[in-house]
Amino acid sequence: MDYDLNAIVTPYVTSYIRGKTVQSDALLAELEMYAKENDIPIAEPETARLLSVLTRLKAPAKILEIGCAIGYSSILMARSLPTGSSIITLEYDSEMVRIARENIARAGLSGAITVIEADAKDYISYLSPDESFDLIFLDGPKGHYVNMLDDAVRLLAPGGLLISDNVLFKGMTADDGHFARRKITIIRRLREYIDALMSHPQLETAILSQGDGVTLSVKKISDKDRFGY
């Protein structure tokens, strides 16, 4: 059987999963269509469902999202949060910021989600560790993931979850013979990022072939965090 080399998972499996992953939220379904029609990158359907499940499972009080786009993932996560939880989401593009705020207001979630127009790699470097987050969703420029890792770990609460999307980049990250030459810098940096995650002494990381590739990294709880010394 011939497989689509651009697919991380064989196409018939992806098709089956997506056929079962039906979006029941009218606004989110509308945003999915808008993103498709306007070529705006958002989480793949199966990744979006994983994100929703993990948010419900973790029940974080505070989330940091890097890469807001039209507000799709923020709204998705906010729908799964306990009452009183909050999301800070960062976006560099001013037009995306405007659209995201409109969509978040339409969802009735302006009180739970704060959209900040900023260059994420600079912004998070200035945040105090007192601003710790229970969940960080990294979905911004892929070439900058490795540059943001130290700050992401610093800002992640002990036992917190770091979710990184698009790490396999249509499978190109995994195969020297399967990437476009113009993408070589991004691929190299994503490989560095994955290596850094897998060897990081404060993290335990799993790589999933979900969607466009996702890593789940839990910040280990030290004896100092556990016992206070």
CATH number at residue 143: 3.40.50.150
What is the span of the domain harbouring residue 154? Answer: 11-227
pTM of the model: 0.93
**Burial of residue 181 (number of CB atoms within 10 Å: 0-12, 13-18, 19+):** exposed
Q: Does the residue 4 lie in any domain?
A: no
- Planar angle of CA 73, 137, 135, nearest 5 degrees: 110
Q: Does the residue 1 lie in any domain?
A: no
Q: Which of 43, 215, 55, 211 is nearest to 146 (CA)?
A: 215
pLDDT, residue 202, reads 97
Q: Does the residue 5 lie in any domain?
A: no
Residue type, 64: L
Q: Does the residue 66 lie in any domain?
A: yes
pLDDT, residue 2, reads 45
Taking the alpha carbons at both ends of the chain, their separation in whole angstroms is 58
pLDDT, residue 223, reads 67
Alpha helices in the chain (DSSP H): 11-20, 26-37, 45-58, 72-78, 94-106, 120-126, 145-155, 184-199, 223-227
Instruction: With beta carbons less than 8 A apart as the criterion, state whether 71 and 42 touch.
Output: no
pLDDT in tens, the chain (229 residues): 344 555 688 888 888 998 999 999 999 999 999 999 999 999 999 999 999 999 999 999 999 999 999 999 999 999 999 999 999 999 999 999 999 999 999 999 999 999 999 999 999 999 987 889 999 999 999 999 999 999 999 999 999 999 999 999 988 898 877 767 788 899 999 999 999 999 999 999 999 998 899 999 999 997 677 666 6
C-alpha span between 119 and 80 (Å, rounded):
27
Q: Does the residue 44 lie in any domain?
A: yes
pLDDT, residue 1, reads 36
Q: Does the residue 3 lie in any domain?
A: no
Q: Does the residue 2 lie in any domain?
A: no
Number of domains in the chain: 1
Q: Does the residue 137 lie in any domain?
A: yes
